[in-house]
Structure 1
Amino acid sequence: MAPTLYFMRHGETDWNAEARLQGQQDIPLNEAGRKQAAEAGHRLAEILPEPDGLPWLVSPLGRTRETAELARKAIGLPPQRYTTDDRLKELTFGDWEGRTWAELRSVDRNMVKARTADKWAYVPPRGESYAMLHDRIALWLKTVTQDQVVVSHGGVARVLMVLLAGKASAQAAEEPIWQGKLLVFRNKSAEWA
């Protein structure tokens, strides 16, 4: 049986609030994001009586590290007791990072239309597709041998929905990935907690 993953997406940033593509840009949490991180920690403690008994694996970007630290602190755990893994970084939007969809449509409507037509496979200029991220996360999953808490990004959650819950890639690319909530991957399913 595959290990259970307690997945936490990083809290909100100003770029999230402005609908800007973050990708691998290191944007800090805003006040709402800090509250979401603490709420996610409390929710984790409700469903997992001993959350410090599991390893915490975190994307190395600042917004995910801050989310993990605030979540841990909120439930009385040492904030920095986690491990980072580069493979858990968000996909990169390349030249599109920092822009909104409205801005991109004004620059090159055809590229945005092409991505909308196939979100999973489309590669932005100097960027990465969900399909490419899928390969990176699949390699990481081969190393996962026990239940753990994972703090990462929306793109990673979508890929995990395909790899662990059997969702079609086109469906996973459209799924909303909430901040401040937990997504539990268990027994070939993905459920919000």
Structure 2
Amino acid sequence: MPVSSSPRLFFLRHGETDWNVEGRLQGRRDVPLNPEGRAQAARAGRTLRKLLASAGLVPQDVAFQCSPLSRTRETLAIARRELGLPAEGGDLDDRLVEFTFGRWEGLTWPEVCASDPGLARAREADKWNFTPPGGESYAQLAERLAPWLAEQRQPSVVVSHGGVARALMRMIGGLREERAPTADIWQGRVLVFSGQRFDWR
């Protein structure tokens, strides 16, 4: 399934939120960064500065693209400041928004298991294709991202979410469907997609 070619993408997951700390399913809920999340965004920005330099790029050479949720927009603003750029800048793209957990958003996984034990077991059995009630599956997320990925023509900094990162790992890097939904996704680091490979920095 990996795409045949793709420009280099420097992917930043948004920094930490209080819901991340509490283990709550955020999905499309607009939860802000906490102080640690802002520190992580700055750290990712400093790493990004080094990565761009090592690739022979300056910040003006790359596009900046972002999910419209506030936690990603603030992460982008902080990272841009670390690059010596104005905080404002970059294109918001609804296709980069996190997938939705539907009625499960705001719950912890133990709460989901208690309220919907059958559906929780079904998701554990096939995380890639399972659709939460009123939500979206990883497979549907990948379908949403496919046109966006096909449009990429230049190196880009992409600030988005854990689910989007996992879908791109499948779409670009060929990670298996059963592996992609459980791949580790870090905050405060940069995920570099180059060719048909990906690597955390």
Where on the TM-score scale, by shorter chain, does this alignment land: which range? over 0.9
Task: Tell me if structure 2 keeps the 8 A contact 1:154–1:177.
Answer: yes
Q: Does 1:187 align with 2:195?
A: yes
Alignment of 1:38-77 (within 5 A): 38-49=42-53, 50-77=58-85
Moved over 3 A (4+): none
Consecutive unaligned residues of structure 1, counting only runs of 5 or more, are none
Q: CA deviation at 1:52?
A: 3.3
For 2:142, what is the secondary structure of its paired residue?
helix
Q: Does 1:96 align with 2:104?
A: yes
Could you tell me which residue of structure 2 aligns to residue 3 of structure 1? 7
Q: Does 1:119 align with 2:127?
A: yes
| TM-score w.r.t. length of structure 2 | 0.94
Q: CA deviation at 1:61?
A: 0.5
| Alignment match of 1:165 (pick from 164, 173, 177) | 173
Q: CA deviation at 1:183?
A: 0.4
More deviation, 5-14/45-54? 45-54
Number of matched pairs: 193
Q: CA deviation at 1:125?
A: 0.5
Aligned letter for 1:140? W
Once residues 150 and 9 of structure 2 are traced to their aligned partners in structure 1, the CA distance between those partners, rounded to angstroms, is: 13
Q: CA deviation at 1:53?
A: 2.1
Q: CA deviation at 1:145?
A: 1.1
Q: Does 1:78 align with 2:86?
A: yes
Task: Tell me if structure 1 keeps the 8 A contact 2:49–2:83.
Answer: yes
Q: CA deviation at 1:58?
A: 0.3
Once residues 52 and 28 of structure 1 are traced to their aligned partners in structure 2, the CA distance between those partners, rounded to angstroms, is: 28
Once residues 191 and 140 of structure 1 are traced to their aligned partners in structure 2, the CA distance between those partners, rounded to angstroms, is: 21
Kindly provide the CA deviation profile for residues 77-98 of structure 1, in whole angstroms up to 9, marking residues without a partner as x. 1111111100000000000000
Of all paired residues, the percent bearing the same amino acid is 51
Task: Tell me if structure 2 keeps the 8 A contact 1:57–1:150.
Answer: yes
Once residues 37 and 19 of structure 2 are traced to their aligned partners in structure 1, the CA distance between those partners, rounded to angstroms, is: 11
Once residues 171 and 51 of structure 1 are traced to their aligned partners in structure 2, the CA distance between those partners, rounded to angstroms, is: 33
Consecutive unaligned residues of structure 2, counting only runs of 5 or more, are none
| TM-score w.r.t. length of structure 1 | 0.98
Once residues 150 and 108 of structure 1 are traced to their aligned partners in structure 2, the CA distance between those partners, rounded to angstroms, is: 34
Measured on the aligned residues, the alpha-carbon RMSD in Å equals: 0.8
Aligned letter for 2:27? G
Could you tell me which residue of structure 2 aligns to residue 19 of structure 1? 23
